[in-house]
Amino acid sequence: MSRILVIDDDRELAELLQEFLVPEGFTIDTAFDHSSGLAKALKSEADLIVLDVMLPGGSGFELLKKLRASSTKVPVILLTARGEAIDRIVGLEIGADDYLPKPFDPRELLARIKAILRRTASSGNAGGEDDVATVGDITLSPGTRTVVCGGQEVDLTSVEFNVLELLLRNAGTVVTREELAQTALGRPLAPFDRSVDVHVSKLRKKLGGGEEDSENRIKTVRGVGYIFAAAPARRQNA
C-alpha cells in the first residue's frame, strides 16, 4: 500500500483527495501549512508527496528546496495555479517531478500518481547486473536507482532518473519528447508543456563537466527530441 503525503492548506480538497485515493489503495497523511508539511516530509516514509505552491507560513517552493537539500528522492507532484505557467517551470527547476494546475480532476491526479509510482517501482524491481546501463563514464543501476558519473554518484529525482534511463538505453538514437513524456512521466505531452525540456536541462547540469560537455552528452534535435551521445572524457578530480 503506497503512502501519499498531501501538503495543502485547503482542508476540503485534502478531505476530497483522501476520500478519492483511499479506496484506490493509498494511505493518506495530510499537512496544512509550511512548517508541519516540511516536518512530515522530512521524517515520513511517504512514497509520493502532493504539494501546493501556496501555503501558510512559507511557499511550497521553499519547502521543496529544503526537501531536496536533504537529498530525499521522494517524488513530488506540485499543485499550481492554472494561469501561472512560470510556477510550473520554477517548480520543476527546484526539483518537482511533475505538476498539476488547479482546479483539477482527482482522476487526473490519480493517473499522475500511479504513473510515477509505477515507473519507479518497475525500475527499482528490475535488479540484476544485466539491467545496468553504462554509456561512457555514466553508469545507471535500476535496482538501486543510482547513477554514477565520472566515479561520483549523482543525486537525481525519480523523473530525472527515468529520463536518463530512457536516453541511455537508446544512446545514439533520437528519443522524441513525446516518448520521454510517456515513459518518464507516464502521460502524453500537452501543447506548450516544457516539463521534458526542464528535466533534460537539469540532467545536463547535474551530469556536469561544464556547459559544453553537458550539451555534448545530451544533444537537442530541434523539433523532435533528444539524443544521448558518447560522453566526454572522464572528469579529473581536483
**Per-residue pLDDT tens for 14-52?**
999 999 999 999 999 999 999 999 999 998 889 999 999
Task: Considering only residues 126 and 191, tell me which one the structure prediction assigns the higher pLDDT.
Answer: 191
Whole-angstrom distance, CA of residue 108 vs CA of residue 173: 32
Q: In the CATH hierarchy, which fold is given to the domain comprising 3-123? A: Rossmann fold (3.40.50)
Positive or negative torsion for Cα 202, 204, 209, 212: negative
Q: Is the dihedral of CA 127, 130, 135, 136 positive or negative?
A: positive
DSSP string, 84-145: -HHHHHHHHHHT-SEEEEES--HHHHHHHHHHHHHHHHHHHTT-SGGG-EEETTEEEETTTT
User: Domain residues of the chain, as ranges?
Assistant: 3-123, 127-228
- How do residues 100-132 score in pLDDT, each as one tens digit? 999 999 999 999 999 899 877 765 555 545 589
Mean pLDDT taken over the chain: 87
CA distance 102 to 77: 12
The Cα–Cα gap between 196 and 181 comes to 6
How many Å apart are CA 76 and CA 4, to the nearest integer? 10
Region 59-72: mean pLDDT is 90
CATH of 127-228, one of 3.40.50.300, 1.10.10.10, 1.10.357.10, 3.20.20.370: 1.10.10.10
Q: What is the pTM of this model?
A: 0.82
